[in-house]
Amino acid sequence: MNKKINGILLFVISLSLPFLTGFTNISSTPKTVYRVYLKGEAIGAIKSKKSFENYIDKKQEEIKKKYNVKKVYAPVDLDIVKEITFESTIKTNKEIYDEIKDISPFTINGYIIKIKGLDTKDSEGNVIKGQTQKIYVLDKSVFTSAIEKTAKSFITSEAYEAYANDTQKEIKDTGKIIENIYIKNKITIKKDKIPVDKTIYTTEEELSKYLLFGTTEPQATYIIQDGDTISDVAFNNKISVEEFLIANPNLQGENSLLSPGQVVTLGILKPQVSVVEEDHIVKDEEQNFATKTEEDPNQYTNYTVIKQEGIKGLNRVTQKVQKVNGETVSLVGLSQEVLKEPVEEIIVKGTKQRSYSWSGGYGNLIITKGMFGWPATCSTVSSGFGWRWGVLHDGTDIAGCGYGSNIFAAESGEVVTVGYKYDNGQYITIRHDNGYYTMYAHLCSGCTYVKQGDRVQRGQPIGGMGQTGFATGVHLHYAIWTGPPYAGGTALNAMNFY
């Protein structure tokens, strides 16, 4: 039976061979070829993989000159697979090259850097996962130099170099030491083939510009007019003074003189990485004096005389401060030493003045002579009023007082809101008798001592400092408005009232 089957198979094969060899693409003997696949689809066979790769390299002299490289490679989605076949149709290198050259980009050796974006929140408070982006360089030193240049945009070069070289001066009385500098994003670097249709950064200047502004396109410019100051130009163009100085590194500081006709850059920062700076700071802060009122029933009601001039005190404060891209996000007061006690001011008035007493929280009111009283027990401003990365920071952030420390009504008025909002957290709004509104945000949970409709007096504790809402550290977001906040009113710089 087996002999019969074998005989039939031999007969069939012998009959078939003349017909098979009659086709032009079939060979009677197997050959070693290289099958070319583009995006997973076979486009033909070639004799030599190496010969084809050399052909690509030879044809791409323009790419070599543009990027100053010695070799150009096949596209990343092109595969060349060795196989043995009876097929005799072989394509030339030129035929395959012409078929792929306008479909997929050729590649060169370089580095692919992945930067993982940090999570953020939308207008409803929902978490938005950070997106990972890819950056392409030919030399990874371009990236490391660009990162360093970016960091120096938020940290002075002198301070950065002292930290990097471990040459910072020890704090004797007052001063600052940078304890740490790092990039908060997760970054990976891999050597790989880079498609030439991608944006490939070849200089640290070009890449650091992208890392700062999110684009390499030219930034808007402005021609300085007579009387312009840096702060005015920055605010009127919706950027911070810090952003203005980063975009114009030739200017040394906020008080630098501007000349009419001078052209400046107006770049809105959109940092692609988060540069974190952690500082240990010891500084002396003035402490405002308290004011004591004595009554003189023998004088008329308009009688006021200063019996004793007030003298400010002085405290030595030690703080831990964390900044992200130059912005303070956390400030913790470690200690406070009284260097000089304040001397109270004594005022004699010809009328008796009602006094008020409240409980809750801790800390004493800081006395001011401004239009409004200070709303917290400490005076450190961690972030001021102004534009920041194209968004108006409509209040003044006060930090370092401690969790639960007293927050005071800045002026007498009626409590119009006690509520919670995703960004402000626990907050209170007061409508004052002088027509202004004040808002106090990020209060600690359960730390509100008033309710809507309450009548409050200047200096009355209304809540406790906290970290609710969109806040990276314990602080008070304090804002003064003309008209209701976020409902037709206009935010003002609170510091103009002190």
Domain boundaries in the chain? 23-104, 107-218, 220-267, 275-353, 358-498
220-267: CATH number: 3.10.350.10
Tell me the three-class secondary structure of 341-402, residue by residue.
CCECEEEEECCCCCCCCCCCCCCCCCCCCCCCCCCECCCCEEECCEEECCEEECCEEEECCC
Burial of 2 (0-12, 13-18, 19+ CB in 10 A): exposed
Instruction: List average pLDDT for each run of 10 residues in the chain, which is 498 residues long.
Output: 37 36 58 93 94 95 94 96 85 95 95 92 76 95 95 91 94 95 96 96 95 92 94 90 89 90 91 96 86 79 77 91 90 88 84 42 51 86 86 90 90 94 93 93 92 92 92 92 90 89
- To which residue do tokens 């003298």 refer? 311
Contact 342, 311 (CB under 8 A): yes
Question: What residues does 431 pair with on adjacent strands?
Answer: 414, 437
Q: Would you state the CATH architecture of domain 275-353?
A: Single Sheet (2.20)
Report the C-alpha gap between 311 and 256 in whole angstroms: 33
According to the model, what pLDDT value does residue 6 have? 39
Q: Which CATH superfamily is domain 358-498 in?
A: Glucose Permease (Domain IIA) (2.70.70.10)
According to the model, what pLDDT value does residue 16 have? 37
DSSP 240-264: -HHHHHHH-TTS-STT----TT-EE
